[in-house]
């Protein structure tokens, strides 16, 4: 899956360990179908359709 949008919507449940080649999560995270996700200030942010947001620690690899 290519992440061409700034805040893409997960088309199905995803198990994520990294976003692109540059952002690595501290631990794998499940992103449920229909949730938006993006990186922000050293974390993966997952926004559920209800508006609830959860943050998961990660780091930028250069």
Does this model's pTM top 0.75?
yes
Consecutive 10-residue averages of pLDDT for the chain (62 residues): 71 92 93 94 94 95 78
| CB 9, CB 39: distance < 8 Å | no
- The pLDDT of residue 7 is 87
Q: How far is CA 17 from CA 7, 27, 51, 55, in A?
A: 17, 7, 23, 14
Give the pLDDT of residue 61. 84
Quote the CA–CA distance of 56 and 1 in Å, as a whole number: 20
């Amino acid at each position: 899956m290519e992440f061409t949008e700034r805040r893409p919507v997960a088309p199905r449940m995803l198990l994520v360990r990294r976003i692109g080649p540059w952002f690595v999560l501290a631990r794998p995270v499940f992103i449920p179908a229909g949730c938006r996700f993006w990186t922000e200030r050293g974390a993966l942010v997952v926004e559920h359709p209800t508006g609830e947001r959860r943050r998961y620690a990660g780091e930028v690899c250069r």
